[in-house]
Structure 1
């Protein structure tokens, strides 16, 4: 089990509830009140509940930097601005997810440095590569290396869940637009350089390790001020257990959109949903002094 430090919280919910599933489909974790924690997750459900193997969308390559970056003399957004990216039940309904598990204002912001090192240590402990330490993150950060020591604030906005389908939103406020842009470019390179990870985590099928495959997603349509980097994680036993992750950047703010599914939510569904969030991010008001 992954255990990470607990940042301040406004109401007595444990922060790692936001983690829910980071790798998905690797192991069952039994925890009172919250059934999944850290980077391990569910695998013990019937194959008959999942969709057939689904080929990836064949489309243009991602553009990890915005066409018209938003520049500000001071940081464009505080971390609290990310709360405006919260979604309603109607907006999340196209994913066939109905229940808000954790809502806006449940948790106070944390910092990358208060969360990432613990996740990174466990990631390396199960055989994960430092280059691929974006995989276990449940917010926009790299869990191993210089980025894990950042004081940038991060915020868990919402988690929606129905059965085995989960959607969560998290955000990070960088000091500058340039720092956020560099994070996106670095993440884009890491995704390309991490096609798979063979982790020392037993599978439900009795194997001693779990093969995790990481695939860049085809580009989505975003406004000129928004950059987007997306990737898919498939865990043992295959594409019936997937997570889709998109990081969206505007100015110094990066929003992470994560959808975890046993196969019933399709890649195209996630792409269309993320495009809607990218449109909202593009209209987020920039404070004026």
Structure 2
């Protein structure tokens, strides 16, 4: 999906085997959450235990458990998230009846639009700073309209700030360890705006990455997350969008977990969406055989890129997600540069 300015699971779905319990938490140390002292996040925070996909729960649990070992004193917060993800897998596998049926919501037809904005905000002349990260989310009524009106228990400032390189390294290692394939689909597992191939590294490794408060549906079968990356320049952000568009065009399906895959999905480029002239967008839809869907889109304005990720058990249509993207892009277009 991009700028068009031109005219839970059913019973029987495989889940990854339980991971070993994390080590006992240790007292948390005080570490500044700032660009100078980034704290790795590596995966989108879960709002509360709910019906998350095998893809979500497995990635979050494996990465978080590893983070606990590596981060020592920061283990308390990640310990809580890991237990939430484990509860999510249990909930997803037991809450739905064996004969549960999902409505087969149609995909929206059409061609992707361009990956560059009609009238981009040029940085270094006008650049967003970390101050913009506190203004990414919309009014709560917008989330209720989408069907994810329940706010996560953690606020933006309770999540650590990380960097593009830290995000990339952790998930690249996980992708390889899990024998996931094919490599051209690696981008699809990243929860923040990163488009580097699995055997490369981010060109601007110190770019700030921030996760934001999650929103979920009353049934807990749909979860919306946002993450934001601050590039150094508009050119860097535009390069990311172009690379992401190319990756989406070459990935038709992928699997996490090798021969015993716990997430197998087809990947379809999202058609162009009508956006403000200063916004560019690239997106895709993932769909697996049990009805689970993931709608993903990166919205760019200047040197700032927001990744919007909606997991749903056929509760929310692509059309509804696209309507949300329009609202989110209009909101992003109004954020002033400070």
TM-score range relative to shorter protein: 0.7 to 0.9
* 8 Å Cα contact 1:170-1:255 kept in structure 2: yes
Which is richer in helix? 2
Q: 66, 78, 84: which one pairs with 1:35? A: 84
Q: 1:41 to 1:284 in 2, by over 3 A?
A: farther
Q: What residue is the counterpart of 2:121 in the other structure?
A: 70
Which is richer in strand? 1
Deviation digits for residues 260-280 of structure 1 (CA, Å, limit 9, x no counterpart): 100001111100011101011
User: Between Structure 1 and Structure 2, whose CA radius of gyration is higher?
Assistant: 2
CA distance in 2: counterparts of 1:61 and 1:117, whole angstroms: 29
Q: 205, 214, 219: which one pairs with 1:159? A: 214
Q: What residue is the counterpart of 2:96 in the other structure?
A: 46
CA distance in 2: counterparts of 1:63 and 1:27, whole angstroms: 29
Q: 92, 96, 108: which one pairs with 1:57? A: 108
Q: CA deviation at 1:218?
A: 1.1
Structure 2 residue 288 is the aligned partner of structure 1 residue 231? no
Q: 249, 253, 264: which one pairs with 2:315? A: 264
Q: What residue is the counterpart of 1:183 in the other structure?
A: 240
Structure 2 residue 53 is the aligned partner of structure 1 residue 24? yes
CA distance in 2: counterparts of 1:49 and 1:257, whole angstroms: 28
CA distance in 1: counterparts of 2:268 and 2:286, whole angstroms: 7
Deviation digits for residues 111-165 of structure 1 (CA, Å, limit 9, x no counterpart): 1112221111111222333322211111111362222871111011221123121
Structure 2 residue 257 is the aligned partner of structure 1 residue 200? yes
Deviation larger for 40-49 or 244-253: 40-49
Q: CA deviation at 1:282?
A: 0.9
Structure 2 residue 148 is the aligned partner of structure 1 residue 91? no
Q: CA deviation at 1:15?
A: 4.3
Unaligned runs of 5+ in 1: none
Unaligned runs of 5+ in 2: 1-18, 23-30, 35-39, 62-78
CA distance in 2: counterparts of 1:15 and 1:166, whole angstroms: 18
Deviation digits for residues 185-217 of structure 1 (CA, Å, limit 9, x no counterpart): 000000111111133357xxxx65642211111
Q: CA deviation at 1:80?
A: 3.1
CA distance in 2: counterparts of 1:63 and 1:28, whole angstroms: 33
CA distance in 2: counterparts of 1:161 and 1:8, whole angstroms: 29
Q: 1:279 to 1:217 in 2, by over 3 A?
A: same
Q: What residue is the counterpart of 2:16 in the other structure?
A: none
* 8 Å Cα contact 2:42-2:171 kept in structure 1: no
* 8 Å Cα contact 1:174-1:180 kept in structure 2: yes
Normalising by structure 1, we get a TM-score of 0.82
* 8 Å Cα contact 1:27-1:41 kept in structure 2: no
CA distance in 2: counterparts of 1:180 and 1:9, whole angstroms: 23
Aligned-residue Cα RMSD (Å) equals 3.2
CA distance in 2: counterparts of 1:183 and 1:149, whole angstroms: 11
Number of positions where the alignment pairs a residue of Structure 1 with one of Structure 2 = 273
Structure-to-structure mapping, 1:74-223, within 5 angstroms: 74=125, 76-101=127-152, 102-128=154-180, 129-142=182-195, 144=198, 145-147=200-202, 150-162=205-217, 163-200=220-257, 210-223=263-276
Residue 105 of structure 1: SS of its match in structure 2?
A: helix
Residue 202 of structure 2: SS of its match in structure 1?
A: helix
Q: 1:68 to 1:209 in 2, by over 3 A?
A: same
Q: CA deviation at 1:50?
A: 5.5
